[in-house]
Structures are given as C-alpha cells and as structure tokens.
Amino acid sequence: MPSFRLSPAVQSLKPSATLAAAAKAKELKSQGIDVLDFTVGEPDFVTPAHICEAATAAMKAGHTHYTASGGIAELKQAVCAAYERDYGLKYSPNQVLISNGAKHSIHNVLAALCGPGDEVIIPTPYWVSYSALVELTGATPVLVETSEASGFCLSPEELKAHVTPNTRLIMLNNPSNPTGAVYPLDKLEALVRACVEADILILSDEIYEKLLYGGAAFRSVASFGPDVLERTITVSGVSKAYAMTGWRIGWTIGPAAVIKAMDNLQSQETSNPCSISQYAAVVALNGPQESVEEMRKAFEERRNYVVGRLKDFREKFGVTFAEPGGAFYGFFNIAGFFGKTLPGGKSVDNSSDFCTTLLERAHVALVTGDAFGAPGYVRLSFACGMDQLRAGLDAIEKFLSAAR
Ligand code: PMP
Ligand code: GLU
C-alpha cells in the first residue's frame, strides 16, 4: 500500500466553512428538503447582459488561447482607469496583476510576502479564508478581536498592542465580510496612519467597495497619501459588484516589484486567468455602470428589511448586532440561546451546533460565527430574493420563539 502522507501545510488545512455550509444546504435540497439557504455570499443576479455579450464576442474573435500570465493589457489598463476615475489613484499597468478571483489574489500576496516567522494581523471577525491562507505560507495569523460596540472597527491602540518586530502585514477588509462593517473615514485614516507608524504593510481587501448602504462612505486605503500608498496592496475584483462570481477574475494592485514576483508565482502555478472572462471583465469596468447601482439598490432594500427584522429580534429575543453599512451580510449574536431548549429538544452551547439545529429543525441554513473567529454569532447572506428573505426570517423567528 503506497503512503499518501499529506504535506504538513495541507494536513492541517480545513475546507472553506462558507463553501462547506453551502454544500450541506445543497445536499439537503437534493434530498427534496426545501432548505432556505443563506450561506454563501454571492449575488443572486445574473451577470449583466452586455458583459455576457462581451464574452461571446471574445470567443468569436478567437480569444480562446493562453494570455500573458498576469493578465491581458486591456484589462490591466481598465483596472488603472477605474481606480483613477473612482478614487483619483494613478497606477500603471505594471502595478496590476489579474488572477483567478480575489481569493487567488489574496493567496498570491501572502505567498509572495509571508513565510515562517512572520506574523500577520487579522482583525476578527474575519473572512473565513484569511487565517487559512496565512497558515498555508507558514506565517502566523495574529487574530485581534474587535467588538460589536465599536462597530467591529479596529482602533490604532488595539493594533499597536499586537505589533511585534515580526509583524509583516495587516489584512483589512472594508466593507467587511462577515460583519458588513464599514469604517467611518476618520477611523480608517487613524488606523492606516498607525500602520505607517508601525511600519507594517497593508493588504486591503476592497471586494465590497461598491456595495454601500445608508450613506456609508468608502475610501480606498491607498488614497490616504503617498506614505500609505507605498505600503498598500489592494485586492478587489468583479465578483460582487458585477455579479460575476463564476467568472473568477480578481486583481491585485501594488508596488511593481511585488506584482512582478506574484506574476512569476502565478505563471508557474496557473498560467493565466481565463481569457474569455478577462475580456468580459474589461467591458464590466469600461462599459455602462448602471447595473452596479441597480443591484446595489436591490441589496439595500434587502439590507433594510433584514435590519428591521433583526431590530425586532433584538427586542423580542435579546439578539444583538451592528447594522451593516456594506457587503451583503447580517451578522448577529445568538449566544443568549445557549443553554436553552431549542425546537427538537436539544440544547446547544455554540454557534455551530445552533446552526446545525436550525438547519435540521427549521430548514434554514446560516454560517456559524465560529468560522469567522466570532463565537456566539451567525451570518445570514442577504444576496437572495425578498421572498426567500421573508420566509427565512419568519422561520428563524418561529424557531427562536419556540426556545425555552
Ligand atoms: N474577500 C472577501 C472578503 C470575500 O468575501 C470574497 C468572496 N468570496 C473574496 C475575497 C473572494 O472573492 P472572489 O470570488 O473574487 O474570489
Ligand atoms: N465570499 C463568499 C462568502 O463568504 C463566497 C464563498 C467563499 O469564497 O468562501 O460566502
């Protein structure tokens, strides 16, 4: 019998909890159970027609071959033009790398910059893949807790308390998955100033940049001044704003030397991102932007509905939450239900078991806060239709009402 002893890096690697929760919900659905699925965070909208047409045109034009490993020049230029138009940031194409989705971009950044002995600061709650991707490089994730009371924003003091001579970079995600938190601009500026003072690099994941609600303001971290720009690596992509999760296009923008190193890595690992998707992404960025606002408005309506229901749950059941200013997640604390008898007669003492019981008894699928380093919380993605949201929140309310 040959030995398939796994490498140390992969041995301890857990599967993505968001994708695992979505798979579990799908499995139940395939058994004929009518599951209301709020697990995975991806727009329910179909990619706008003009972007799909660009993909068809690209295929017809013969763009069906390998491209340059780091992406086609047209897309790099479109990314540069978008950052100048949206944030007044002037980048050149050699500062841009196109990858297979923003998750791949994050992996590339960490693989290029971090290794054993390095520490990476991750404010919690954090997006599920952050710590796993840091660990893959051999570096150590340093999880720094933020609170609901602070709107899940990290203060400069909290940052400084965790910086050591080994700190390499901080991973910031604004607007945030899973909390929906958007840093007020003064708090964001204070935090990035503290990063400059501490002389650490910033990986700024801005994938939800276009999904803002209730007047929340966004600023790209690199725009806070030349001293911030020179230490910031920005990651974003087309998945969320253009409803293009399946197309797998993300990008990294940063100092040319780091981008070059990441391009070398990508050329060995995956060659290039999908040629057809790249041509479609050019049209997403350069073409009409009305659909971005239309989808944002629809998300805002859902967000307002979810916030209204959560406020009601707060009054009725003592559930707590911070109102999301961006992204598409409701993130709320159900720890008050630990120790109570839930429908089905079970009592639970953690969010993961709470989610399992909710799925079994109410057929509602949420993601446990444990996956985001936030015990006691659960995440509900509102990237779904209003009918599903109403039915799901009704079912959650019924479930919570029946707890004793
Ligand atoms: N960062 C965050 C915070 C996300 O929520 C996601 C969504 N999965 C990603 C990055 C990755 O997005 P993509 O689909 O482009 O890989
Ligand atoms: N970002 C989404 C989520 O958190 C997509 C799933 C994933 O890539 O993990 O649900």
Would you state the pLDDT for residue 14? 86
Residue 2 lies in a domain: no
Residue 58 lies in a domain: no
d(CA 68, CA 247): 18
Structure tokens at 362: 């109410």
Residues 242 and 370 in one domain: no
- Going by pLDDT thresholds of 50, 70 and 90, the confidence category of residue 8 is confident
Residue position matching structure tokens 């961006």: 326
Q: Hey, which residues does 236 pair with through a beta bridge? A: 251
Residue 49 has pLDDT above 90, yes or no: yes
Residue 20 has pLDDT above 90, yes or no: no
Residues 14 and 77 in one domain: no
CA of 165 to the centre of ligand 2 (A): 32
Q: Hey, which residues does 119 pair with through a beta bridge? A: 140, 167
CATH code, 133: 3.40.640.10
Ligand nearest to the CA of 181: 1
Would you state the pLDDT for residue 34? 94
Residue 218 has pLDDT above 90, yes or no: yes
% of the chain beyond a pLDDT of 70: 100
**CA dist 12 → 15, 49, 128, 171 (Å):** 10, 42, 15, 21
Best residue among 128, 329, 384 to mutate for probing ligand 2, ranked by most atoms within 8 Å of CB: 128
Ligand nearest to the CA of 25: 2
Residue 36 lies in a domain: yes
Residues 308 and 248 in one domain: no
Residues 23 and 89 in one domain: no
Would you state the pLDDT for residue 1? 86
Residue 15 has pLDDT above 90, yes or no: no
Would you state the pLDDT for residue 258? 98
Residues 226 and 363 in one domain: no
Residues 392 and 313 in one domain: yes
Residues 172 and 73 in one domain: yes
Q: What SS3 class is residue 380?
A: strand
Q: What SS3 class is residue 25?
A: helix
d(CA 49, CA 163): 47
Q: Hey, which residues does 381 pair with through a beta bridge? A: 329
Residues 73 and 194 in one domain: yes
Backbone angles phi, psi at 9, to 5 degrees: -65, -40
Q: Hey, which residues does 326 pair with through a beta bridge? A: 212
**Domain of 350, in residue numbers:** 8-46+291-401
Residues 18 and 113 in one domain: no
Ligand 2 atom nearest to 17, measured from its CA? 9
Number of domains in the chain: 2
CA of 341 to the centre of ligand 1 (A): 36
Would you state the pLDDT for residue 42? 96
Domain boundary among 287, 316, 340: 287
Domain boundary among 269, 287, 305: 287
- Which residues does a 6 A CB cutoff place in the pocket of ligand 2? 16, 18-19, 40-42, 103, 128-129, 177
Structure tokens at 230: 């020179």
The answer to whether 129 and 272 are in contact (CB under 8 A) is: no
140-183 confidence digits (pLDDT tens): 999 999 999 999 999 999 999 999 999 999 999 999 999 999 99
- Which residues does a 6 A CB cutoff place in the pocket of ligand 1? 41, 101-103, 127, 173, 177, 205, 207, 237, 239, 245, 250
- Going by pLDDT thresholds of 50, 70 and 90, the confidence category of residue 220 is very high
Q: At CA 165, angle to CA 161 and CA 168, rounded to 5?
A: 90
The answer to whether 276 and 254 are in contact (CB under 8 A) is: no
Average pLDDT over the chain, rounded to an integer: 97
Would you state the pLDDT for residue 85? 97
Ligand 2 atom nearest to 127, measured from its CA? 4
Residue 318 has pLDDT above 90, yes or no: yes
Domain boundary among 287, 306, 333: 287
Residues 110 and 237 in one domain: yes
Q: Which helix (H) or strand (E) holds 142?
A: strand 140-145
d(CA 32, CA 191): 49
CA of 354 to the centre of ligand 2 (A): 20
Q: What is the mean pLDDT of residues 7-29?
A: 89
Would you state the pLDDT for residue 253? 98
Residues 103 and 203 in one domain: yes
